[in-house]
Every structure is written in C-alpha cells, then in structure tokens.
C-alpha cells in the first residue's frame, strides 16, 4: 500500500511541476505578474503541505506496522505554512495577489482529487473489462 501512495505522490508531482511551469510562463509572458506570482506561491506552499502530509503518512504507516505510538500528522506545520504564505501575500501586495495565492493552494488539492477520480474510473473500467 505504501508503494502505491509513493507512486501516486510522484504522479502528482509531475502535474504540480507542470502547473508551476505554466505560472512561470504567465509570469514572463503576460503583464499579470502579481497574479502568477501569487499562484506560484500558493502552488509551492500547497506542494510543501502535500509533501509534509505524505512524509507523515509514511511515518504513521511504519509506526502502525511496528506497533509503535504515533503522534499527529503535521496539521500545525501545514497551517503555519499557509499562514506564512498569507502573511507574505498580504504584506507584499505589489508582488503577490492574495486571491490567486489561495487558488494556488487549492490547485494542489484539486490535482489530488481529480487524479483520484480519474484513477477510480480507470480501475472500474479495467475491472469490468476483466469480468466481461
């Protein structure tokens, strides 16, 4: 199970890198620099939060397999990184657009959700094909 989580994380990494590349293109090629910088800030913080969650999930899985105690999944650290990104965006509005930073935070979770939905449909189609 842990291997499939790691594979899923690597697949999501590719999508997030593509989104960051789109933000870089928008930053260099359009006059909406602060919007794309806000998106990029949100994407990077969302990606960091996802990475942190994956590390804590791996540690929790290993602790449960070894019958050890496990404390927390890093919620405070993830909330703190979002708070820090919000402070940066609100203190430097000429560089970062606050609302696009929030959208960037949500893109990481949207990638996870959409990939889960598409992969579920793919597995269901594959299972029905095998049965029929």
- Looking at the structure, tell me whether residues 27 and 43 fall in a common domain: no
What is the rounded average pLDDT for all residues in the chain? Answer: 89
> Which tokens belong to 40?
């990029």
Residue 131 lies inside a defined structural domain of this protein:
no
Q: What is the pLDDT of residues 115-128, one digit of tens each?
A: 888 888 887 877 77
Cα 62 to chain centroid distance, Å, stands at 22
pLDDT over threshold 70, residue 3: no
pLDDT over threshold 90, residue 131: no
- Looking at the structure, tell me whether residues 73 and 95 fall in a common domain: yes
Q: What percent of the chain has pLDDT over 70?
A: 97
- Looking at the structure, tell me whether residues 57 and 87 fall in a common domain: yes
Provide the domain count of the chain. Answer: 2
Q: What is the pLDDT of residues 28-82, one digit of tens each?
A: 999 999 999 999 999 999 999 999 999 898 888 888 889 888 888 888 999 999 9
**pLDDT for 41:** 94
> Which tokens belong to 62?
């290993």
Residue 78 lies inside a defined structural domain of this protein:
yes
- Looking at the structure, tell me whether residues 52 and 4 fall in a common domain: no
Q: At 71, is the secondary structure helix, strand, or coil?
A: coil
- Scored b (16 or more CB within 10 A) or e, 56-79 reads bbebeeeeeeeeeeeeeebeeebe
Q: What is the pLDDT of residues 89-109, one digit of tens each?
A: 999 999 999 999 999 999 988
User: Could you tell me the residue range of the domain that residue 26 belongs to?
Assistant: 1-31
pLDDT over threshold 70, residue 1: no
């Amino acid at each position: 199970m842990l291997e499939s989580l790691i594979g899923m994380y690597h697949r999501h990494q590719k999508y997030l890198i593509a989104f960051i590349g789109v933000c870089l293109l928008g930053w260099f090629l359009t006059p909406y620099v602060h919007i794309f910088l806000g998106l990029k800030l949100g994407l990077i913080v969302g990606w960091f939060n996802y990475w942190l969650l994956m590390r804590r999930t791996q540690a929790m899985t290993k602790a449960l397999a070894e019958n050890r105690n496990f404390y927390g999944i890093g919620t405070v650290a993830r909330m703190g990184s979002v708070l820090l990104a919000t402070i940066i965006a609100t203190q430097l509005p000429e560089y970062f657009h606050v609302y696009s930073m929030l959208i960037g935070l949500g893109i990481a979770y949207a990638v996870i959700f959409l990939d889960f939905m598409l992969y579920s449909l793919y597995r269901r189609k594959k299972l029905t094909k095998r049965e029929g």
